[in-house]
Amino acid sequence: MSYTNNKVTYLNTAAVGRLSEASIQAVQRFQNLSKSNPSGAFFDWMSNQLPLLREGIAKLVHTRVAQVAFTPNFSFSLLTIIHTLRPKMKKVLLFEDDYPSLNLPFELGGWEVSYLKSQDEWTVSIAEIQRIIERDKIEVLAISHVQFLTGYTIDLEVLSAICQDKGVILIVDTTQSMGAVEMNFDELQIDVMISSSYKWLNGGMGSAVMCIKEEFMQRFSPRIAGFGSMLHSEEGWTYTPSLKSYEPGHLNPIGLIQLQQAVEGRLKRGVLNVEQHNLSNLKYLSEQLSSTSFKATGAHELSNLSTILCFDADKIISDKLEEHDIIVTWRKGKIRVSPHFHNTPSDIDRLVQVLKE
């Protein structure tokens, strides 16, 4: 299979999102400047372009610039938040089948963990979440907005309202939704929202976005310091705790330049338009699968789908799709299909045609 083949049908954004030509060219321009004046290129980017990216993310998720931070990746972001919470908090609720990068830091970090289990390998029950919160006196809930194994999408408005009512810190992994699902961070009662850049944001590797409510910052002072949180004067360095405490060392310009181009493109396209386009693709896929022998997971509940649809299949089916240059992911007996704004119904038709064959 050729990775530069224009005939590739890419339906695998839940694994890695495609980079745009604009992102690639912007990085090349920065790298060319770095050949002769790397310090000039870096500090010019940090002074003039990074603030624009911060503003772009704030617009994308409807929040204030003061609540947006950039980090190397999701795992680093979560670990810094856990490190900040741990002296005061100890009881956390996790979804048992959630992504390991979300669950393991709590499981390995000495927390008292309660687990939410799905009764049908699909539903993430908010009613059960509330019951466990009350029963186990939960202090922190960490959960994905969209489940990577099934595509089940939880109602953040309802969930966050419950957490606020119960005094529970809510940490949401939006790696499988940010940039593809309309969300308003200021209106949602989410304390911390973290997303890798390389999936639905189409920002490539090497960066992540973290949004933290100012109220959380006031309650929990960061237990980490970064270059951005230091003020330099003739007297030396002065540290002032802020959201930028979570931005370690010097940020990665390559990753964030890619992300900036992607965010600018997404704002022009409109997240809501992307969401509607993707939902239309998933609905069409669900309908077309009904004419095959493959059974979609939870497809009868389209209200709980947003970016991913899965169906039961053996690994050999996934291998056969790859032979036809149709790129999906196979996990735990299911094929995961994750079309994005660049996909059309004809891509779905090609997938279904091979499945029928």
Residue ranges of the chain whose pLDDT lies below 70: 1-6, 299-301
d(CA 153, CA 302): 10
Amino acid identity, position 337: V
| pLDDT score, position 6 | 64
Give every CB contact of residue 18 below 8 A, 6+ residues apart in sequence: 10, 202, 340, 342
DSSP classification of residue 18: P
Residue 193's DSSP bridge partners are: 172, 211
| pLDDT score, position 4 | 45
d(CA 136, CA 196): 30
Beta strands in 191-277 (DSSP E): 192-196, 208-212, 230-233, 236-239
- The full set of domain ranges for the chain reads 1-357
Question: Looking at the whole model, is its pTM more than 0.85?
Answer: yes
| pLDDT score, position 302 | 72
Closest CA to 116 of 128, 104, 105, 107: 128
| pLDDT score, position 59 | 98
* CATH 3.40.640.10 matches 1-357: yes
| pLDDT score, position 308 | 95
Closest CA to 318 of 328, 308, 305, 304: 328
Secondary-structure percent of the chain, ordered helix, strand, coil, rounded to 5: 45, 20, 40
Residue 10 DSSP SS3: strand
- Interval 96-139: pLDDT, tens: 999 999 999 999 999 999 999 999 989 999 999 999 999 999 99
| pLDDT score, position 300 | 61
CA dist 275 to 13, 148, 270, 272, 314, Å? Answer: 14, 17, 9, 5, 29
